[in-house]
Amino acid sequence: MKSTSHQLKIVANMQKGKLANNFYEVLSLSSTNVGFEEIKKAYRCKALQYHPDICHHSNKEESTRRFIELRKAYETLSDPISRQIYDYEMTLMNSFESELIWRQSKQNKKTNFTKEVWERQLDGLIIRCCNRMEKKKCTFS
């Protein structure tokens, strides 16, 4: 599979953490199959909760951060083209993560198998060594 420059940018963004938060989760949407009105309603509800002008002074910094994140999520998901690109990037990211997990589990199984074989061989050598030592004791006695 050839990597396109767009795919490489996605990987770079993943590594920088730009796609760390799922915009659907940020807006508390349970599905990616939602329409514009549902996105708008979810955004307004969350915006009222985290708007920096409404929140308590002690939570202002955290609320501002969350509000900016909400705004990014809304701007991305409310624009059909941006949303399509975002969904594509999330699909790629999920497939990369799945493949990475699969490769790591495969490597772990391979490592465990190799370790088990080595341990069995070592156990066999120890038993043979003990048997030889017993034979030598018998011949000297």
pLDDT in tens, 78-136: 999 988 888 888 888 777 666 767 777 777 666 677 777 788 888 888 888 888 887 77
More confident residue, 16 or 88: 88
DSSP one-letter code for 59: G
Tell how far CA 135 is from the center of its chain: 58
pLDDT at res. 140: 61
Q: Is the pLDDT of residue 24 over 50?
A: yes
Q: Report the pLDDT value the prediction gives residue 2, as an integer from 0 to 100.
A: 47
Is residue 70 scored above 60 in pLDDT? yes
Which residues have C-beta within 8 Å of that of residue 45, sequence separation ≥ 6?
28
Rounded distance, CA 135 to CA 133, Å?
A: 5
Give mean pLDDT, residues 49-72. 84
Residue 131: what are its φ and ψ, rounded to 5°? -60, -40
Q: Which residues 6+ apart lie within 8 Å of 19 measured at CB?
A: 10, 13, 89, 90, 93
Question: In which band, very low, low, confident or very high, does the pLDDT at 4 lie, cut at 50, 70 and 90?
Answer: low
Give the whole-angstrom CA distance, residue 131 versus residue 48: 79
Closest CA to 102 of 114, 112, 94, 90: 94
How far is 110 from 74, CA to CA, in rounded Å? 45
Give the mean model confidence (pLDDT) for residues 6-14: 54
pLDDT of residue 1: 44
Give exposure, 40-52, as e/b (b: 16+ Cβ within 10 Å): eebbeebbeebee
